[in-house]
């Protein structure tokens, strides 16, 4: 228990003194999770919208497959991505292994089902009269799509928040694909894993609290966008 209190004090020290290694890990985490959150939104929003808006044969099995993808363990995704971007793998020439770019690619795969499933659910929950009302008002297809997205904007915001949380806190992909290389691919989560593995529990707690502080700051700013 004592290391939790020690960790709390150390967290403040780390933040205030601007410890280089900690800030390197913080910047790495922010860079890579923002990047993968945006990429997964770019891929997941359109697909989620199509999935929620239209009815087609095979819609239910497709939803089931998508929901199953939500249960992929991060280490498993990390292993699959490693197989592809390893020097011997098909994407080896891109030199993504042991880089933040590689981690971002893996995390996008992780967050993509989250965004798609939540967007589909939000669109499905939309007022069914809206589509007919828009058509009767003479809206063209582009207007219909943008208005529907606007209508479910809070659901989409929830998808973004969920995706961000999912990628910022994962370890499996960062560890396997990034290699936990100090100053380069060491994120806060892999740093916590390392410190805990070395038995430096107070350090682990401190880094965890730094991560929570960042997540808190992000969510505070997003909270202003919510329904009052």
Partner 1 sequence: MKLIRLSKFSATIMAALVMAIVTMIPLSSATAQEKDLEKKLMMATTTSTDNTGLLDYLMPQFEKDTNIKIEWTSTGTGKALELGKRCDVDVLLVHAPDAEKLYINEGYGKDRREVMYNDFVIIGPAADPAGTKGKSVKQALELIREAKSFFVSRGDDSGTDKMEKALWNETGKPLPEKESWYLQAGQGMLATINATEERMGYTMTDRGTFIKYMAQKGGADQAPLKVLVEGDNILLNQYSVLTLDPKNCPNAKYDLALTFSDWMAGEKAQTLIRDFRLLGEPLFTPNAK
Binds partner 1 (CB under 8 A): choice among 147, 165, 171, 214: 147
| Residue 157 CB-half CA count within 13 A | 14
Q: Of residues 161-190, which lie at the interface with partner 1 (CB under 8 A)?
A: 179-182, 184
Q: How far is the CB of 93 from partner 1 (least distance, A)?
A: 9
Q: How far is the CB of 109 from partner 1 (least distance, A)?
A: 18
Binds partner 1 (CB under 8 A): choice among 6, 8, 15, 38: 38
- Asked whether 210 and 188 are in contact (CB, 8 A), the reply is yes
Query: Left, alpha or beta for 95 (phi > 0: left; psi -120 to 50: alpha)?
Result: left
Binds partner 1 (CB under 8 A): choice among 88, 129, 140, 141: 88
Burial class (CB in 10 A: 0-12, 13-18, 19+), 28: buried
Residue from 174, 144, 138, 164 nearest 50 by CA: 144
- Asked whether 120 and 63 are in contact (CB, 8 A), the reply is yes
Q: How far is the CB of 158 from partner 1 (least distance, A)?
A: 14
Question: Any contact of residue 199 with partner 1 (CB under 8 A)?
Answer: yes
Q: In which residue are the tokens 């044969």 written?
A: 57
Residue from 163, 131, 136 nearest 147 by CA: 131
Q: Of residues 17-36, which lie at the interface with partner 1 (CB under 8 A)?
A: 30-31, 34-35
* 124 to 143: interface string for partner 1, x by CB under 8 A: -------------------x
- Dihedral angle sign, alpha carbons of residues 85, 176, 119, 61: positive
Residues in contact with partner 1 by CB under 8 A are 30-31, 34-35, 38, 86-88, 95, 97-101, 143, 146-147, 150, 153, 179-182, 184, 196-200, 221, 224-225
């Amino acid at each position: 228990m004592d290391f939790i209190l020690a960790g709390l004090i150390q967290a403040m020290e780390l933040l205030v003194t601007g410890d280089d290694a900690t800030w390197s890990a913080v910047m790495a985490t922010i860079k890579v999770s923002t990047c993968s959150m945006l990429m997964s939104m770019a891929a997941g929003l359109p697909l989620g919208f199509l999935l929620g808006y239209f009815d087609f044969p095979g819609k239910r099995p497709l939803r089931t497959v998508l929901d199953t993808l939500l249960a992929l363990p991060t280490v498993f995704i990390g292993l699959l991505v490693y197989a592809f971007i390893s020097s011997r793998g098909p994407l080896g020439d891109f030199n993504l292994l042991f880089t933040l770019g590689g981690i971002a690619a893996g995390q996008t795969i992780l967050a993509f089902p989250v965004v798609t499933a939540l967007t589909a659910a939000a669109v499905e929950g939309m007022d069914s009269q809206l589509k007919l009302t828009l058509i009767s008002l003479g809206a063209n297809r582009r207007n219909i799509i943008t208005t529907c997205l606007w209508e479910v904007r809070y659901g989409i915001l929830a998808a973004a928040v969920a995706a961000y949380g999912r990628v910022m806190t994962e370890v499996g992909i960062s560890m396997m694909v990034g290699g936990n290389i100090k100053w380069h691919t060491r994120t806060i989560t892999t740093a916590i894993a390392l410190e805990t593995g070395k038995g430096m529990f107070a350090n682990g707690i401190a880094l965890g609290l730094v991560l929570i502080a960042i997540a808190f700051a992000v969510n505070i700013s997003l909270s202003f966008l919510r329904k009052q």
